[in-house]
């Protein structure tokens, strides 16, 4: 401490605290050798309290705002400890702690590790939660005795970790006792917070602190469970799966028609496209005409063929369509054809199922001799 400050302290003895921070709970007034003169003035502002400590023992407390001239009348406990009977003239040694009693808002709490819970819908689940709370010093003396000690500046960071642990512990207790299904937790945030405050009140009181408000902002499931819930929700939004399958198949066929390819791609992309079309058509047929619950099985579908005419793909065509192409001359025995199940495009004249179109293979074989 500089000489000028020491001299100034001898001339003018005003004890006050102008808080320039936003996180200080308790601040010890710095005095040269902790000396305070008789008649010194103490200034206690709104949302402040002043606590006098003599040789480690709490003496007098000023919990109301105002300016006080320190005498034996307003320092009765300190006067008793000092043995003053008729007042004091010389400076006395005492520590003065200013306590900030305003509300500290937007303090965070959250679960470091998930809370295990048995849920009625999902079975064993792990839940995480976070929120905010408001802190206020209700009993300055209890705070100094339990937590501050001789700390010259005691901030919220020095106690919020302990308070957060208490909040998380009581959150787990409240959640387990409530037995609220995970899907209904969002509708019960207020009631859960109120139950937590009821449990936390006596524990916070030991520190001289009260929590006027506590909020639960979110309770969440593990990411993998949330993803499965999203898929389940998506299925519910789709509605009729048969109609959705038909819609998807129609879109796929439309996209394939926009990119027919050329002669160079006839042997590469056409097969994959046609196979996809056949699969989609089968899905549509199955969705539109489901088999009966009982009775004979439906006959197998008639084969359809695709032609390579002038370097372009034509089809699929059933037998009637193929006969029309034979009459028009577009389909000959040398024309390349393909149907599902064939490994590659093949000349029509070599396909047994098409022999009747060209008048071949219809005559019976000769009778055996004898």
Higher-confidence residue of 286 and 321: namely 321
**Confidence bin at 259 (pLDDT 50/70/90):** low
pLDDT of residue 67: 95
* Predicted TM-score (pTM) of this structure: 0.59
How far is it, in rounded angstroms, from Cα 157 to Cα 35? 30
Extended beta strands in 35-160, E state: 35-36, 41-44, 48-54, 57-62, 66-69, 92-93, 95-100, 104-110, 115-119, 123-137, 153-155
pLDDT of residue 298: 63
**Confidence bin at 284 (pLDDT 50/70/90):** low
- Tell which residue, 13, 3, 17, has the closest CA to residue 90: 13
How far is it, in rounded angstroms, from Cα 228 to Cα 206? 45
Higher-confidence residue of 292 and 50: namely 50
Cis peptide before 75 (omega within 30 of 0): no
pLDDT of residue 231: 79
Q: Is pLDDT above 60 for 352?
A: yes
Helix (H, G, I), strand (E, B) or coil at 105: strand
Q: Is pLDDT above 50 for 269?
A: no
- Segment 197-222 shows an average pLDDT of 94
How far is it, in rounded angstroms, from Cα 44 to Cα 140? 14
- Segment 301-330 shows an average pLDDT of 80
- Tell which residue, 223, 107, 112, has the closest CA to residue 172: 112
Q: Is pLDDT above 50 for 263?
A: no
- Segment 129-145 shows an average pLDDT of 95
Q: Tell me: the pLDDT tens digits for 81-95?
A: 777 765 666 677 788
- Segment 8-15 shows an average pLDDT of 63
Q: Is pLDDT above 70 for 220?
A: yes
Beta strand 123-137 with 115-119 is antiparallel
Q: Is pLDDT above 50 for 262?
A: no
pLDDT of residue 164: 94
**Confidence bin at 360 (pLDDT 50/70/90):** low
pLDDT of residue 332: 84
Higher-confidence residue of 301 and 347: namely 347
Q: What is the DSSP string of 246-266?
A: HHHHHHHHHHHHH----STTT
pLDDT of residue 365: 59
pLDDT of residue 345: 82
- Segment 124-150 shows an average pLDDT of 93
CATH of the domain spanning 104-226: 3.30.479.30
Q: Is pLDDT above 70 for 280?
A: no
Higher-confidence residue of 238 and 121: namely 121
Q: Is pLDDT above 50 for 7?
A: no
- Segment 342-346 shows an average pLDDT of 82
pLDDT of residue 257: 66
Higher-confidence residue of 325 and 162: namely 162
Higher-confidence residue of 360 and 176: namely 176
Cβ 106 vs Cβ 23: under 8 Å: no
Domain-by-domain residue ranges, the chain? 3-100, 104-226, 304-350
- Segment 183-190 shows an average pLDDT of 92
């Amino acid at each position: 401490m500089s000489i000028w400050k020491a001299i100034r302290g001898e001339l003018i003895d005003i004890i006050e605290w102008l808080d320039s921070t936003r996180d200080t709970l308790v601040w010890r007034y710095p005095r040269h050798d902790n000396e305070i003169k008789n008649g010194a003035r103490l200034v206690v502002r709104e949302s402040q309290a002043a606590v006098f400590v003599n040789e480690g023992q709490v003496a007098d407390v000023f919990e109301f705002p105002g300016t006080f001239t320190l005498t034996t009348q307003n320092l009765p406990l300190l006067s008793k400890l000092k043995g003053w009977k008729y007042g004091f003239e010389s400076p006395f040694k005492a520590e003065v702690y200013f306590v900030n009693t305003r509300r500290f808002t937007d303090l965070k709490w959250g679960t470091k590790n998930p809370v295990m819970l048995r849920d009625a819908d999902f079975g064993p689940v792990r839940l995480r939660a976070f929120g905010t709370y408001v802190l206020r010093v209700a009993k300055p003396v209890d705070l100094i005795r339990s937590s501050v000690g001789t700390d010259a500046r005691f901030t919220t960071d020095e106690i919020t970790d302990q308070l957060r642990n208490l909040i998380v512990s009581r959150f787990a207790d409240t959640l387990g006792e409530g037995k609220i299904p995970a899907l209904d937790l969002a509708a019960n945030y207020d009631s859960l917070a109120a139950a937590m405050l009821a449990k936390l009140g006596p524990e916070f009181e030991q520190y001289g602190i009260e929590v006027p408000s506590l909020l639960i902002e979110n309770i969440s499931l593990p990411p993998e469970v949330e993803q499965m819930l999203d898929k389940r929700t998506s299925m519910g939004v789709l509605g009729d799966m048969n109609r959705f399958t038909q819609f998807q198949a129609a879109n796929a066929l439309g996209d394939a028609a926009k990119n027919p390819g050329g002669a160079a791609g006839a042997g590469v992309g056409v097969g994959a496209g046609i196979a996809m079309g056949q699969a989609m058509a089968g899905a549509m047929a199955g969705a539109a005409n489901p088999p009966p619950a009982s009775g004979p099985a439906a006959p197998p579908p008639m084969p359809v063929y695709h032609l390579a005419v002038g370097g372009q793909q034509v089809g699929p065509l059933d037998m009637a369509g193929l006969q029309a192409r034979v009459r028009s001359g577009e389909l000959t025995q040398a024309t390349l054809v393909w149907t599902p199940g064939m490994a590659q495009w093949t000349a029509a004249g070599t396909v047994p199922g098409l022999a009747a179109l060209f008048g071949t293979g219809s005559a019976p074989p000769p009778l055996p001799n004898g």
